[in-house]
Structure 1
């Protein structure tokens, strides 16, 4: 009774706690029996924590989400709302595959292909019983795979670990996955033999184990693979015979056993594989004849038996393979001729019988010779004509014993890309119809007995990349039509009887890499255009009758002597044989000459050569000069009249900034002024440009004036008088802005420009010290440059030129009047880059407009076949160096002849009296150990061969090495 009363008293509390316990128990049971969707979220977030996502493909994966079903790469079962597929192919992921995926209990497909995942894979990954497909291909996974990895593979149907770095044995448990339909373990480092259980997977449809180091034999139980459609065991170490049971896999469509060590005969049972489209047994040791039953495999599209030990003749049954596209029997021991039945293989794209012992004429069923193509037009169903093979792209019959003439018309082979008939015994001429093959990439007819000439029609095959006609008996000239083969990379026509010159047109083939013209009878000089070939890596002209100097260029400067040997008249440093001076010296006239002259040269032991012109030459040149001066005078007058008319119609209008300033009448002569530093205007206005008092000098491109900015700073303005040659406004402004960005302490700064269609101005800094020419040749009394000053001027000018060349700008106009001296005695090189403003950079413009001072011009200006490069500036600099050291002008006019400074210094050097050439005004106040090396450097810079001249960067280094440590003690004079 007491117990009952106590229970009644406690009942409210007991009921309360019992209720709490019941609720808690229900929640526990709920958690245990009903999985939470957060398990998938948690698993994927843990997986994400182990990898790197540089492209943020997984940015949608948020741990605060209730479900991952909307995340990128994730798919869920809509009924269960659970993750069933994870496909992250090509997401650029790296890192390791962690244990987070093991929480995805309903995962059916896992695909992480084409990433950069590394490390090993979890041994429990295959134990996800829901998994049907695993694809981890094309990553960087490595290590061994445990033998029991697939022990609990459940319902796994597809596994791909291809293109990783797995090693060791293939897990034996793989053979226990009875549901597997596809296995791809290719391109890894697996070794050892295959698990026997694999050959018992009756549901297997695709097996790819290629590209490993597997070995052993294929067991006889292979017939159990009755559902197999594709098997690839290539690139391994398998050996032994292919078992006859392979013929029981009747559903096979693709067989690749290539590049192994299989031997013996090809199993006869394979003839049952009537569905097989691809059969590749290449690179093994199969023996015997090509079986006649091969024609029973009527679905074959690719048949590759190359690189084996097959012998005998090609069976007639090959003609039954109507679907055949690729046939490769190369590198065997086949003999006899090709069967006529092959004319039925009309779908062929590639045919390769190279490296055999085939004999007889080339097959007529391919090489049409009786206008069968025309007959095919009348009878579209005919299969016995060359036109039937119009789809064929590759024909390789090289290295056989084929004979006969190439007397056939191959125009019907319009799709042909490669024709290789080399190393046979073919005779007769090269057919001109070769030029009809517009798709032809490779033509190799080398090592035959072909005669006649290279047909001019060869230029019609404009897609040619590789042309080989070497080791024949070809005669005549190299056809100029070769220039149409603009894609040509390899040209091998050596060991023939070709004659005549090397065509200039070869220099236009900018894709050329390998050229061999050796062992012919070619004559003449080498075209200078060959130096322009940017990709040239080999060039052999040995054993011909060529003469003259090699082209100047980076490749030819380093060409092997053996590549030019056997040409007695070739000269240059490569063959250690000096060339005669065939390049003309600058033509100069003596304005002081009044009497007759006789032509000739002083003996070589005199310190210089004379250049004397006859009376008739002087009269002819004088008449021509008079006419030219008259034309120029009339042109200048016309320009001035036109210019003054323009000025009277509309005054010059300047504006700062980047926009045109238009007068109220919007006159076209209003111009555009751009100052790079932002100065707004000129204080003196445009009239300063017309004021003779403000003129500083005149050059080949126009007059230079001095004017003043509003801030009182002086500037120099070059008024261009070559408006008809100047580029369009857009090009003019682009080039000038480029020049404005080039700054160097030894360069005159370009500060702005002015443009109208009829007037262009260049605005530069004003250098107050005058020109180097003035200081050298117009000074008086004791006002002369000391050696210290001269060396500083030479070095500074060299640095400015080196800077220009590093900026890909050629000066073209090196002379002492373009070297200005500032208030501190530093040189500033001006007038650079003017040639960039001209649309036609030809030698006439360069010689008549830019190179206005005689003596500085490099000899290649006189030869149109020599490329103008930075080495022209080096030549002009060398002349300038000698001018500075000697104090003499580049060209000195004597009483009855003209002497070139380079010749004086060169003669003095040969006689060992270079020090006598130093400017006498220095009166011995110069270090001989500096002056002589500097003059020698000048001579090197003026080498007749451009490739023998140093570049300006090297010149600067040499000058800095020459500088004497005692120069600071020199009398500044």
Structure 2
């Protein structure tokens, strides 16, 4: 008997600790779902209750399951209805998985639920009519799915609902007025659904408990209902990206709790309500890109205001002094209006002002002394106004300044010494004013300066040698001043210099020896100075020179024969003291105007040189020389004729069909040299539109040639149109763009049915090919960081500095090319799109452009595109750089890169996300960049950063003075999912 008892004690029967019924139900849930990452491995029959299982929370006294949170588990399958058999279940969260199919009609059997969160899944079909039959439901969160059809009328019957979030679906009916019956509602988010054009239901004004109302991008028309004045608890109101018209109702002043109002990108008109001063809690007001008139109400600029965006309207009058009262004002953007008068003298005294843009107005007066009093001013843009006076000395101490644009005003006096050497300034634009004095030697401290534009002022003195220390300088425009002295020898050290314009000054001396070291120089304009000596033959060695103007100087000697190596769109050596014979290439009538006003020049151009009498011996010598030349020509012509006849059956068609040739930079090769090298052994890449060849030219240089193959006669017209559009789009885009991080298009041509685009050759290929090959380990973190920053600056230029802005539409790692120093260039603009403007409403496309894994969710299902689509794609590129993984990978299961990163980050920590090949000493910096990528890939476009903000955050992430996003030094993985749009919108 004792032995039997002992055996029972040591070997308890399996049923001694049997799993309870709730656990059995949950095992049925596990069985109905695919679990590729084995996230539910802790769910097993060995436990008596499921309370210790991953994602399960129980009520401690009773051990009853109250909450099931399986968010970010990468689960796949239909909604597990067995969850509704848990009698005490209060909360279900399956967010950010791949729950598919449609929601079952009997989901209402989950009778005790208070929260149902199925956001960011793959659910389709209609919204279940029965959801309001769950009497306890308080939070219904279904954003980021593919629900279609209408919002059921039964949704007006919810009894306790506090949050209804249906954003980012495919709902295409209208917003039902019946939603105004849900009196308990505190958050209503229907943004980014392709609703039919409709008015905002006035009945929504009955929701007096409402705190959040998001209706952005809902195809709304008509006026904002005056009934919204009853929403006294409302904190966030977003009607942006619609087609609303009429005036802003005065009843908006009754929103006593409002903190944020977003009305940008509509067609609102009329004046801003004068009683908006009653909105004492208002932090952000954005009504940009409308048709508003009148003045800015004095009361609008309240104590709590952090951001005021009213650009692209028709506002008049002055900027109220009350704007200086706010102690939180960070952003003030009023450009493209008709505002006048001076800026308030105390602007910046009380508030941490970061961005000021009042360009294209009629402002006058001086720059306020204390704009940078809090030391955070990054952008100050005052172009095309009537400002006057001097630059305050205090701005010369503003170390945070990055972008300074004062062009086309009436400024005068000396520029403070410190202003020349601000360490973070990358754009310094002082052109078209009346500034005087010299460029300070302190400019050597401007280590980040890329563009120095000071043309058409009264600057004088010599150009300081310290300019040669600005390694990042891309453009220097200093024409129309009173500069004297020599061109600094140090200028030849500027390897990235693309444009140098010193025309219309009083500079003397010679062109510095070693000018050939400026390998990136595309434009050299030294016209109308006092330069002398000979023209250096080195200029002919500049590989990309496209514009050369040395006219109206005192250059002497011969025209260097090396200049005929150049193919120039602008070439002017007129009005100098040049002599001798012209290089044969330029001894043509079409170059005559390039050499006028040089009495000593000889050549065969009629009227260029004075006639010279010849002696008899000279005449005989000339006749004899002519005979030899003629005989030689006959021989050469005969050989060429024979050769051409021999090869005509192979080459005649190709050469005869080079019908169009256009260059955008200096090119030292012909169209036939390119066409003859398009052989299969030279292919370095291929895609849907054609192949890419590496062509090594006769001079040893290499170029990349993209060949867009023509469509056959039997192909459809739409295919031909698409191919032509891609060619013309790329030519139109890249032919005008000049930026160090955008790939250069040398030229283009058409040969028969083929269209050729000739680019600079990138020896390290594409980022995608290198990163995801066996050589990926060669890309250490500093190199990856540099690539991310370079590409971000290129995209920022497209979005913010091109007029009109450009959306790339196919940002991916394979379209980021790397030069010999791993500098990044954004490439492939075949599907790029010129848009109305950054922040404007998304434009509809006929087809999806982009690549799998990079396409923004809203673009994929709405075909509407704006710059936010590029930002999402670039965020995926950042995640590639951090993880070392491609955007689609078998490890992700049915998820994409974004969902995998967020799930792994939240569940396993950042170490499981970061590429193990990276040095752990850079972990803090990598985490910062990772968080930027997560912000860029937010499911809702409004929450994504602008490219300008991305550049700024990347610079801070890699710099010595890094901003901390939270107390731990990293952004929280909270940003992997959407909780409250207002918190993230402030980051855009």
Q: TM-score range by the shorter chain?
A: 0.3 to 0.5
* TM-score, structure 1 as length reference: 0.47
* TM-score, structure 2 as length reference: 0.47
